[in-house]
Chains A and B, each alone.
Chain A
């Protein structure tokens, strides 16, 4: 090992080998995946003209919600990936009606696959739990909707304020009695809570891709 240039080459090429294999090759293989239609045109082998393209582009409020999801670190307990049927119980737990595939993620500036399931997978939470009011309560205090949950409360995304006039605001949380605030006050979701719920509602696997069909 006293041959310096040779050893340096070794140090260089071992890492270069893995970098080319894992990062570059995959970038070349599928780094330019495009959205497509649910099925390929049997004649051209490409997308069918006129059909809607999937995955959908993320929009407005949901994109802001993703920032909230990221800065609170939600992905450290929630994955966003559905494994194939028969590998784990992702399918049986209704976390997605099909496996998630590489094309599902192409519009995401930051891919949040996650590696931990302290809580359930959220790849298709917008389909599985489609009622925003449920999410507003759950984020405010998870034990309202899920007794015994280990999820932290995100009450700081809400505002407690005095009820003006005789009627409560339309967006006020309908808290069960044991979680209610003092009379005369109400809990209103803040802008970031709205964005976060919009993001969660946008998480769906409700389309087919040529390489992955729902069951």
Chain B
């Protein structure tokens, strides 16, 4: 698993940098629309879509392929064979995403949210995914361990769910479009499930693996983890429809989406209790271990973002929050503060074990954590507050629309500042990754224990 994992981690890091740059450009354009305004390929609609697809299919998926498959192989106590094939599939995945984002820039965008990449790369993506995802299943099939851990279920479920939602969405929206707003329902069933049935289970699998692993004690409750898994599988599925509250679709389907969104409180509380009870009394270790710092930050964000999400789905709240920057803030809350932070933590654990050497710079890890944590907090707060004000003003017909728009500018500027924070964090992360991978320091190959800030191994 060493070479494929390295390949995916490096690809993910490169996509993260590209996605950050595109995000910053888009964010800046939101309050200064003339910025880079003369180039058609850099118009706002395209840069923001390129940003979304670069972070989603570039960063998130590559990180998942590395972390998910690595955890799977570890827990199954098995080797992943035919590594060459896996790397070839990975190369094709990355080529497909690159072409797809190029397609967005040259004007082949589909304008279907979360599926902007043109249809001509769909087959390539699908085949590459199949060749990557199947390794997780093969590893599971030939597992050497008797016991099956909760992380394995999350990973297995996600590996199976993602291709299903992806192919249904591709077919019913792009290849053989359904009639009218059935497309929109399919679209949000897909887009929300990318978060709910792909990113979330993978991040939870990592949290369930690393929190007990680094602390060195078993997970608090086996039964709670089962309850969490099945309620998530049952309710998250239905929640996506809350993105079209008030829209031209049957009221019953929206109501069921709202019910499911509220029911999501159950898996969230269950998971939160389980993680909290595992980590309780070991606060020192959470602070000391870079992995746990990131993972626990992510796990706590999961609880918060899910509660906010359940609230936002209610009709009375959605009336205000829908169509505003609050939704954008919420998306970053989920994908960044929860998912991405956990992936960072996982990579801090995995890379030293692949390379048999420690992280070269403790300072860069600290930098990464604080800039990322501060940056994302600023972004979430400004977009939530700014978005809420925008929503209230938009619902007051006394205020002209242009004034509502002008009112968002200070919040959007603050968001750009938070983007700079994140960019610094990511550069620190990238330097550290390339440093550990490509430059061998004269260090002893001493890895058996997790990286700790206080340990002498790390400088």
Contacts and interface: CB of A to CB of B under 8 A. Distances in A.
A150 B409 contact: yes
Interface string A19-44: 10111011101111100000000000
**Do most interface residues of chain A lie in helix, strand or loop, or is the interface mixed?**
loop
**Do most interface residues of chain B lie in helix, strand or loop, or is the interface mixed?**
helix
Interface stretch (A87-95, A178-186, A195-203): A87-95
Interface in B222-240: 226, 229-230, 233-234, 237-238, 240
Interface stretch (B211-219, B273-281, B319-327, B433-441): B319-327
A21 B246 contact: no
Contact of B45 (A73, A113, A115, A117): A73
B107 interface: yes
A176 interface: no
B238 A73 contact: no
Interface stretch (A56-64, A97-105, A161-169): A97-105
B397 interface: yes
Given A76-B45, A81-B247, A118-B30, A19 B111 contact: no
B189 A149 contact: no
Given A11-B160, A15-B237, A102-B248, A33 B322 contact: no
Contacts of B44: 73, 76-77, 152
Contacts of B325: 118
B184 A22 contact: no
A56 to B, nearest CB: 15
Contacts of B156: 11
B256 interface: yes
Contact of A11 (B107, B161, B402): B161
Contacts of A149: 33, 402, 405
B101 to A, nearest CB: 13
A134 interface: no
A106 B179 contact: yes
A112 interface: yes
B161 A15 contact: yes
A154 B37 CA distance: 8
B319 A88 contact: yes
A116 interface: yes
Residue among A26, A84, A148 with the most chain B CB within 10 A? A26
B39 A30 contact: no
Contacts of A109: 177
B449 interface: no
Contacts, number: 207
Given A22-B238, A111-B180, A73 B43 contact: yes
A171 interface: no
Given A18-B238, A102-B180, A150 B111 contact: no
A153 interface: yes
Interface residues of A, number: 72
A147 B394 contact: no
Nearest to B164: A15
B43 A72 contact: yes
Contacts of B153: 1, 7
A7 B148 CA distance: 12
Contact of B249 (A26, A75, A79, A106): A26
Contacts of B29: 152
Residue among B29, B43, B248 with the most chain A CB within 10 A? B248
A89 B397 contact: yes
Contacts of A30: 180, 182, 250
B401 A93 contact: yes
Given A1-B148, A22-B241, A89-B396, A104 B248 contact: yes
B247 A87 contact: no
B253 interface: yes
Contacts of B172: 23
Contacts of A155: 37-38
A153 B40 CA distance: 10
B157 interface: yes
Interface in B173-214: 173, 177-186, 189, 197
Residue among B161, B178, B182, B327 with the most chain A CB within 10 A? B182
A79 B185 CA distance: 15
Interface in B318-368: 319, 322-325, 327-328
Contacts of B241: 22
Contacts of A111: 180-181, 183-184
Contacts of A108: 180
B409 A23 contact: no
A142 interface: yes
Nearest to B324: A117
A70 B110 contact: yes
Interface in A138-159: 142, 146-156
Residue among B44, B110, B324 with the most chain A CB within 10 A? B44
A115 B30 contact: no
B244 interface: yes
A123 B21 CA distance: 33
B31 interface: yes
Given A12-B160, A26-B185, A103-B180, 11 more contacts: A1-B150, A11-B157, A17-B237, A19-B168, A69-B111, A87-B246, A104-B248, A105-B181, A110-B183, A118-B30, A156-B40
Pairs of residues from A and B, 7 with the lowest C-beta to C-beta distance, nearest first: A73-B45, A18-B237, A92-B397, A117-B323, A70-B111, A14-B233, A71-B107
Interface of A: 1-2, 7, 10-12, 14-15, 17-19, 21-23, 25-27, 29-33, 69-77, 79, 81, 83-84, 87-89, 92-93, 99-106, 108-113, 115-120, 142, 146-156
9 contacts: A12-B160, A19-B168, A19-B237, A25-B253, A33-B180, A71-B107, A89-B395, A105-B248, A115-B322
Interface of B: 29-31, 33-34, 37-40, 43-46, 48-49, 107-113, 147-148, 150, 153, 156-157, 160-161, 164-165, 168, 172-173, 177-186, 189, 197, 226, 229-230, 233-234, 237-238, 240-241, 243-244, 246-250, 253, 256-257, 319, 322-325, 327-328, 394-397, 401-402, 405-406, 408-409
